[in-house]
A and B are shown apart, each in its own frame.
Chain A
Amino acid sequence: MGNRIVVPFGPPQHPVLPEPIHLDLVLEDERVVEAVPTIGYVHRGLEKLVEKRDFQDYVFIAERICGICSFTHSVTYCNAIEHIMGIEVPPRAQFIRTIWMEYSRMHSHLLWLGLAADAMGFENLFMNAWRLREEILDDMEATTGGRVIQGSCKVGGIRRDIGDEKLGEMVDHLKKIRPLLEESNRIFTHDQTVRHRMRGGLGTLTKEEAWDLGAVGPTARGSGCDMDVRSSGYSAYGGTRVQTGHPPPHGGLSGSLPRPLGRGARSSRPRRTCGGKDARRPCRRKGEGQSGWRVLCLLRTAPPWRVHALHKGQRQEEHRPPPVRTPTLTNIPPLVKMLAGIDLADVPVVVLTIDPCIGCAER
């Protein structure tokens, strides 16, 4: 048994980390015995800001909780307010929100798949994933007006409609992208480099551990928990065929890699069913807000994850900062568990498998 030393991993910058998280790794020789995470480098106080802004303006701020999964945050916020005020959102708006959420999910997954490849040092694959992401972003920009910060959700509905013609174009475009996505997935599952890097069940979490430690989203699904917030049927997910559940085993590849793959594969499906389906009703409905009320709310997800929404409407005097809890926060305990017992050189790859979005986690 060697001496134990503590190595700071990312204090808070580290080449592999897209965002600042600090891990104190207790090492015995090259082996990690324990990891102690620290967050708090990018806290922006966005929850506090909800007290100062009009509830309809806050949608834009809610969206900026994350710079990748932004649309989901605005929908979560709007859902919370609609729930408090009892506003019914027209079905077409629900469906269009769902389409955008799925697009958001796709580009978020692709971004993250790229980063995971980057963590392994597979730059070619990284660029490839981001190139595919760009295609998704193009459609996002054409329909919402923004590439990653969409700003197209509002309390009670959506700000922009998507014309039927454009919907058709989007479906055609997706059909074109799909084989490319599948090809990219195949590289992740079958390529020698990737398989070698993830060998020996690196970062595996058993189903029980994942459940006990509160893993959510793909981190939980990769461990075999059947957990997908879309199956709760929020927005228009009730009316679409969404495949939930954990990804099938990929060619004997064990460990943490099935997580990303499940994402990529699953993401390319549900949108087609959203297509031209629903009622041609107007997309907007004005929310009749009472001016004395402001809203405390929010708590939910980023695209790959589980929705967790707690809402609370209170009189202005009774304000408390609203709790926003994003999936990265709940995925940190599983991460710590995964890090125990692996080699120092594998830490970057394993950290990236939970899709660490620290900006979300700290708000």
Chain B
Amino acid sequence: MPLFTMVKRALANVTGKPATLMYPATPAKRYEGTRGHVVIAIEDCIYCGNCQRHCVSQAITVDRAARTWEIDRLRCIICGRCAEVCPKDCIFVEPDYHPSTTGPAVEFVQGPPPAPPKEEKKPKAEE
């Protein structure tokens, strides 16, 4: 009797469907709340640098003068802290993972030029 405890399971495994997905053919499992990668809606960004300061893995660089936002995808641990601390709520975590890569994966986002009417406050902060 104790010889055959595994046999039932083994037979079920042999005859049943595979437990794994045929990955490239079948897309990977993904859920609504999956943290896949971080994106920014740069038009809303005020370049405060909060995301950079709170980034646990120091993956984000914000340049206020040049109005750029930069993320190193290979450093990013997708914790979502940047999205949490963003005062304008313009950073989001999307559910799909970035494809694998062999080279550097720094993503550079150039913000639009500042809108003229909002200028009164901004130059002060820049100096």
B-binding residues in A (CB < 8 A): 53-54, 56-57, 60-61, 124-125, 128, 131, 134, 138, 141-146, 149, 151, 159-160, 183-184, 186-187, 190-193, 195
A151 adjacent to B35 (CB under 8 Å): yes
Contact between B54 and A195, CB atoms less than 8 A apart:
no
Which chain B positions have C-beta within 8 A of A191? 2-3, 5-6
Can you identify 23 A-B contacts, CB atoms within 8 angstroms? Answer: A53-B56, A57-B56, A61-B56, A124-B9, A124-B10, A124-B13, A128-B9, A141-B31, A141-B33, A142-B33, A145-B34, A145-B35, A146-B35, A151-B79, A160-B33, A186-B5, A187-B5, A190-B1, A190-B2, A191-B3, A191-B6, A193-B6, A195-B2
A57-B2 contact, Cβ under 8 Å, with A134-B19, A146-B35, A183-B9? no
Complex contact B13–A128 (CB within 8 A): yes
Check if A192 sits within 8 Å of B79, measured CB to CB.
Answer: no
Which residues of A are found within 8 Å of B54, using beta-carbon distances? 54, 56-57
Which 8 pairs, one residue from A and one from B, show the smallest C-beta to C-beta distance? A145-B35, A142-B31, A145-B33, A60-B79, A191-B5, A60-B56, A192-B2, A131-B19
A144 in complex: contacting residue of B13, B19, B33, B93, CB < 8 Å: B33
Within B1-54, the residues touching A (CB, 8 Å) are: 1-3, 5-6, 8-10, 13, 19, 29, 31-35, 53-54
Additional pairs, 4, CB under 8 Å, beyond known A124-B9, A191-B5:
A124-B13, A141-B33, A183-B9, A186-B5
Cα distance A93–B32 when bound, in Å? Answer: 21
In this assembly, does B81 line the interface, its C-beta being within 8 Å of a C-beta of chain A?
A: yes
Contacting residues, chain A, for B79 (C-beta < 8 A): 60, 151
Closest beta carbon of chain B to A67's beta carbon, Å:
12
Partner of A60, one of B2, B32, B81: B81
Query: Once the chains are docked, how many angstroms separate the CA of A184 from the CA of B19?
Result: 16
Within 8 A of A (CB), among B48-64: 53-54, 56
How far apart are A61's CB and chain B's nearest CB, in angstroms? 6
- Complex contact A143–B6 (CB within 8 A): no
Q: Is B90's CB within 8 Å of the partner chain A?
A: no
State A160–B33 Cα separation when bound (angstroms): 9
Q: Measured between alpha carbons, how far is A57 from B32 in the docked complex, in Å? A: 24
Q: Does B77 contact A (CB under 8 A)?
A: yes
In Å, the complex CA distance between A138 and B33 comes to 12
Q: For the complex formed, measure the closest distance between the CB of B84 and the CB atoms of chain A, giving whole angstroms.
A: 8
A141 surroundings in chain B (CB, below 8 A): 29, 31, 33-34
* CB atoms of B2 and A151 under 8 A apart: no
A151 to B79, CA, bound (A): 6
- Report the separation of the CA atoms of residues A254 and B81 in the bound assembly, to the nearest whole angstrom: 48
Shortest beta-carbon distance from A41 to chain B in Å: 23
Cα of A195 to Cα of B93 in the assembled complex, Å: 49
Closest Cβ neighbor of A251 among chain B residues: B2
* A159: chain B residues within 8 A (beta carbon): 80, 84
Residues on the B chain within 8 Å of A184, using CB? 9
Considering the chains assembled together, what is the distance between the CA atoms of A54 and B32 in angstroms?
A: 29
- For B6, B35, B81, the residue with the greatest tally of chain A CB atoms inside 10 Å of its CB is B6
Q: Which of A53, A134, A146 has the most CB of B within 10 A?
A: A146
Q: Shortest beta-carbon distance, B66 to chain A, in Å?
A: 26
* Residues from chain B with Cβ under 8 Å of A187 in the complex: 5-6, 9
**Given contact pairs A53-B56, A128-B13, A160-B33, A145 touches B80 in the complex (Cβ within 8 A):** yes
The answer, among A54, A61, A124, A151, for a CB contact under 8 Å with B80, is A151
> Most chain-A CB neighbours within 10 Å: which of B19, B31, B79?
B79
Q: How far is the CA of A272 from the CA of B29 in the complex (A)?
A: 25
Smallest CB–CB gap between A252 and chain B, Å? 11
Closest beta carbon of chain B to A216's beta carbon, Å: 29
- Residue of chain A at shortest CB distance from B95: A145
